[in-house]
Amino acid sequence: MKYNHILFDLDGTLTNPREGITKAVQYALDKHGINVSDLSELECFIGPPLQATFAEKYHFNENKAWEAVLSYREYFKETGMYENEEYEGIRKLLETLLMQGRQLYVATSKPTVFAVTILEHFGLSSYFTMVCGSELDGTRSAKSDIIQHVLDTCRIDKSDAVMIGDRKHDLIGAQNCGVDSIAAGYGFGSEEELAACEPTYYFKTVEEMQGAFTGLTV
């Protein structure tokens, strides 16, 4: 693990946001006349850009999908972002990486303002050199654009960086930017989804990832 610059996805990689995100999506769909009682049906919204997922899963046109995003935010900014939990072992991993002299970053499709609030809520913000997400107006929501923005802003050599994420969008975004990738198998992407993207590394647990960075087997 030669990388000096480690980029992390947020949802499904640093924290488990299942309850908050699915309830916020449920709230948004209800406002558009769609009732979904089983929250597990909405886990596909965790990770990818929301507007694209509303369009893909419910066939919303561009305007309706954006209205759904705004409805989602009504719930999320007041309640949903706090219905979240830090993955066990993540804080230890972050501390280890910093002790090794590496620089850490967050690259998420979530709006930057929400990502910063969540990291501060969990006391994780101090670990990261930069937190980069999308804009509230929906721009810079593609993971490739977000990763590239971190690389450009912090003047990072792509050969010295790796992207860690739990969905195909993270791995494809890394590939598009010429960056190695680590699939976080404990998140919300299936093993099949992640394997199809041919990540540089695949770790099923946070503990396995910790072992890889420390040179210890688990």
Residues annotated catalytic, as ranges = 9
Q: Burial letters for 173-209: b for 16+ Cβ neighbours within 10 Å, e otherwise?
A: bbbebebbbbbbbbbbbeeeebeebebeebbeebbbb
**Terminus-to-terminus CA distance in the chain, angstroms?**
16
Which residues make beta-bridge pairs with 165? Answer: 183
DSSP 175-213: HHTT-EEEEETTSSS-HHHHHHT--SEEESSHHHHHHHH
- Report the alpha-carbon distance of residue 129 to residue 127 in Å, rounded: 7
The one-letter amino acid code at 64 reads K
